[in-house]
Amino acid sequence: MQTERVLLIIDPSEEDRRTVRSILETKVDRVVEAADAAAAWEATRGFSHITMLVANLDQAKGGEIFDLRDHLHGEIGPFPCVFCSHEDMTPFYPRVLDRERLFFKPVNRGVLLDWFDSVTNPEPIADPGMEAAAMNAAPSEPVGSTVPEIATAPSHEPPAQPLPSLESAPIPLPEEALPVGTRLGDYKLLREIQRDADFALYEAEQTSIGRHVALKTLYRKHRKDINWVQGFVNEASARASVNHPAISLVYECDQEMGVNFYTLELVDAPSLSDLARRRAELDDTVLWKVLSAASSALIYLRDSGMSHRLFTAQSILIVKGAEPRIANPVRGRGLPPSPEEERRQMELLADAILPFLKKAGTDPALFSLVDRMGTDRIDAINSIEGLRKALNPPDPKEGLSNAELAKITEKETNRTALVVGSLIGFLIVAAAIVTFLVIGSRPEVRDLEVFIKVPAGVFPFQNTGEIDQPEFWIGRHEVTIAEYAKFLADLSAHPDKAAKLRHPDQPAEKTSYEPEKWGQYYATAQKGGSFFGGKIDPNCPVVGVDFWDAHAYATWRGGRLPTEQEWEKAARGRSGSVYPWGDELVNANFNSGLDHESKEGVPAGSIDGYKYWCPVDAITADESRYGVIGLAGNVSEWTATWDAHPDVPDKRVPLKRGASFATTAGFELTARRAAETPGERNYWTGFRIAADREAPVSMETAAAPAAEAVPVEEAPPVSPAPESAPAPETAPAPETPQQ
């Protein structure tokens, strides 16, 4: 006679009991439910058999559940058990028997069904570990356990129930990164790829099938925090749901001895960042593929409602066959990227492609497209949809009748004749205009290297109390393009100086101090032309510089970057004014983002006279009581001070001070602006230098050619382009102040 299949569910939550019942009720003949161990003991009196127990564990009554299990084993013999909880279950590990399982709630339907079938199957089976397929499960047995596998009866005999194994305590593991060689279930850690304050990424071997994977762990120190654990599981679940040919795969999620982890596809291929560092070359066809794959993946993630990290040169891999592969960037379900994030994404994609664009021979269409990405041009590509349209422009003739197509052909023929007839005259006029612009209108380079003494004394810093600041000198103006050109020319002539300029924390791969798009905007500045739609000349502030660039220049010039205390005293003075000129905001007194773009009734540049940056001495109203100009606006400025990032407290980054032509709020001189990384580069950040004496001595040993003497077609020779590319997981809107 076949034994009745009985499922015992113990859980104080009626909803959770209902969930388990809905999953397993078709697999059993009878379901018995109880809210706690005492009620379950009463409900099972006289039972001769239990097919499976599914019980909730919590810190208060978890021990009672295990006591009940032991009593029932003694009364009716052993049976399979599943324990589940919203809480950390580490304290109960020593009482978990071989072939028992611990699952975090909510329990996955498919995994629980697979586990039920595996332990109630009449055929002898090995330990299946099915729960590792899709959920955050706890260990089946302690690592290092010497308990042998339980034998099963021959197939011609009735199935035997598994016997309890001996209990043993798990081997202690560190609270943070795990040592190489650690085993987590079916995985052995082979090498550490990277780590931070909360996670570590390893290369691991899935020993059962010999597959190498990437394995990401959440540190054990977070195992008791349900928010950390659930967030980690949600990320794994969201990543595993991604189904796009260009995005790497996520395989499974599991838990072992308090370590939550999930495994990902290990792509054995260099990133665009790696290839740029090696100065490798990529064909235009590969670069087109990269943009197409990135565009398709971004659209997929947006339409799927996935929150994700931005694609960077480090996360775009080129596998054999020159096919791009994107490291899975998904964080979880969430809002689509903001317009600011989309713009930053376009800028990062352009940065990833730029090192591979040749000065000659690059497909003009590719060069033009990349040049428009993440910019302020009228034809800029600053959105996912904009990139899609640029890569797949609509056919203007699609859907037209034959008659309409004939009219278009006739117009094109007439237009061609008119263009050819006018071209010669136009070229003559254009040549005359170009000659005048190049020869007759080159802007004058002014000597703006002046240092201002700021006397010693107390001042109100950050509105938190007065501090005593020693005497120092600070640049009257921000460092200009012309001044920075002398620095690059001197380094090119004396490359041995570069080693003396390195910051102690500067990455080894950072070997060049050439600003972002330096060659393009320096040549334009010499001609007094337009860069990204804004007028620029050699007296404008140097931009596109990261913290390392600013530090190197300041050292070369015989000074240093100002601390944020020095910067704020130079700006606010002893009185602690809110703005350099006083306590009332006057929009026309500084170059801000209030007129950066045309708005209803406010044309671009109509408030302060400039849409973008301006010459560093252009707006004299932006002058502090000590005579320092441009502290309120124009460009934000790097300081020597580092502090915790406001969104990532464990991450220390350099601070910037002052608003810029792109800032639309937070103009107070107390506003602090944290960089995403010291390698961050953009076109609204520059710097000025400070010194401990009035006339700091430059390291320049030979007179470099004056900036205006360099041919307009060429930038001064510089060292190789930076090898490091910006790689923030998230990018804030430009110039968001942190108080």
pLDDT given for residue 401 in this prediction: 63
d(CA 285, CA 356): 12
Contact (Cβ atoms closer than 8 angstroms) between residue 356 and residue 320? no
pLDDT score for 319 = 84
Domain with CATH 3.40.50.2300 in the chain: 6-133
Does the structure show a pLDDT above 60 at 549? yes
| pLDDT recorded at residue 395 | 59
- Which residue, 441, 597, 590, is CA-closest to 525? 441
25 or 442, which is more confident: 25
Which pLDDT does position 360 carry in this prediction?
56
Query: What is 276-391's CATH topology?
Result: Transferase(Phosphotransferase); domain 1 (1.10.510)
pLDDT tens-digit map of 325-352: 898 888 888 888 888 899 999 999 999 9
What does the alpha-carbon distance between residue 560 and residue 551 come to, in Å, rounded to a whole number? 7
Q: In whole angstroms, what is the distance from residue 119 CA to residue 102 CA?
A: 14
What stretch(es) of the chain map to CATH 3.90.1580.10? 451-709
Instruction: Provide the β-strand partners of residue 530.
Output: 535
Give percent above pLDDT 70 in the chain.
Answer: 80
Weakest-pLDDT range from 73-77, 436-440, 493-497: 436-440
**Reported confidence tier of residue 154, pLDDT bands at 50, 70, 90:** very low
pLDDT band at 251 (very low <50, low <70, confident <90, very high): confident
Q: Which fold has domain 451-709?
A: paralog of FGE (formylglycine-generating enzyme) (3.90.1580)
Which sign, positive or negative, has the C-alpha torsion 375, 286, 725, 313? Answer: positive
- How far is CA 636 from each of CA 74, 395, 474, 488, rounded to the nearest angstrom? 74, 43, 16, 22
- Is the pLDDT score of 734 beyond 80? no
The domain defined by 6-133 folds into Rossmann fold (3.40.50)
CA distance 132 to 146: 22
Distance CA(7)–CA(735), nearest Å, equals: 60
- Whether the per-residue pLDDT at 244 is higher than 50: the answer is yes
Residues of the chain with CATH 3.30.200.20: 183-265
pLDDT, mean over the chain: 81
Return the amino acid letter for 463: N
Confidence of residue 403 (pLDDT cuts 50, 70, 90): low
314 versus 421: which is more confidently predicted?
A: 314
* Residue 68 in this model has a pLDDT that exceeds 80: yes
Task: Supply the pLDDT for residue 404.
Answer: 61
Residues of the chain with CATH 1.10.510.10: 276-391
183-265 belongs to which CATH class? alpha beta
- The residue written with tokens 């380079």 in the block is 445
Q: What amino acid occupies position 285? A: T
Strands 101-104 and 330-333: unpaired
Of the two residues 626 and 129, the one the predictor is more confident about is: 626
User: Is the predicted pLDDT of residue 258 greater than 60, yes or no?
Assistant: yes
- Confidence at residue 163, expressed as pLDDT on a 0 to 100 scale: 36
Q: Give the pLDDT of residue 109.
A: 81
Q: Letter for the amino acid at 706?
A: A
Mean pLDDT of 34-57: 92
